[in-house]
Amino acid sequence: MFVEAVMTTPVISIRPSTSVAEAARLMLAHRISGLPVVEGDGTLVGIVSEGDFLRRSELGTERKRSWWLEFLVSPGKVADEYVHAHGRKVEEVMTNGAVTISKGATLDEVVEMMSRRSIKRLPVVDNGKIVGIVARSDLLRPMARALSPGDTQATDDEQIRAAIQAELSGQSWGGGGLIRVHVDKGAVELTGTIFDERERRAAHVAAENVAGVKSVSDQLAWVEPMSGVVVLPEEISPKEISKAR
């Protein structure tokens, strides 16, 4: 899926000359945590977010340092912090050169960039002009649709078993064939051996995500790697599971 399918458009944006007060009012009115800053021709020049308003003189939260730390900081940096704490226009407090993504990017690329840069939203651009914005919340909608129960075609037991086995075989934690799958009228039973308690939950999730599965019964035996002791499912306590993690 591409970002163009989930992005929010049209975009609520502001000009560099917009007042900080107006930017704050827009964020509150629309319940958003950031605003793209654009020139009159639609060119993106920055972004202003709640984080840019944390160190403000009006709140009494401007940065304070002890005298010896203040001595080590350059006058230019202190001056820049003063502008952020007292500036009245968006261009004085915004983050310049916002991280952007193209409208043809995939959702995987969006998530990768958000994770790498630790950001919550990405302006979507086309030829340098902003055409939308994608936030973490925008990714929830396609996920929710995919997880919603729909009209799925009936699947027989052998197809279910084969699908689960294929999923397990494709995972590094899948046991290399040590996890066996039995299906009876949509009821799945997992048997065999695991060497890490976390593999138990992963196998359960892999099974319940296959269409046609009605229930999953876990009969996997855990082999403790250090001692070789075999622990059956009913013998495992929550404390042992915690230790395994």
The class (CATH top level) of 3-145 is alpha beta
Residue of 244 and 224 predicted with greater confidence: 224
- 3 state SS of 139: helix
| Domain boundaries of the chain, sorted by first residue | 3-145, 157-244
Report the chain's mean pLDDT, rounded to a whole number: 85
What's the pLDDT score for residue 71?
A: 73
Distance CA 119, CA 117 (A): 6
The class (CATH top level) of 157-244 is alpha beta
What's the pLDDT score for residue 21?
A: 94
* Residue found by looking up tokens 């992005």 in the block: 7
Bridge partner residues of 124 (DSSP): 101, 132
Residue of 53 and 140 predicted with greater confidence: 53
Helix (H) or strand (E) holding 74, with range, is none
What's the pLDDT score for residue 238?
A: 44
* pLDDT tens digits, one per residue of 164-189: 999 999 898 887 778 999 999 999 99
Query: What residues contact residue 221 under an 8 Å CB cut-off, 6+ apart?
Result: 192, 193, 194, 230, 231, 232, 233
Distance CA 153, CA 207 (A): 17
Query: What residues contact residue 232 under an 8 Å CB cut-off, 6+ apart?
Result: 221, 222
* Residue found by looking up tokens 């991280």 in the block: 99
Pairing relation of β-strands 44-49 and 95-96?
antiparallel
% of the chain surpassing 90 pLDDT: 36
Domains 3-145 and 157-244 in one fold: no
Query: What residues contact residue 77 under an 8 Å CB cut-off, 6+ apart?
Result: none
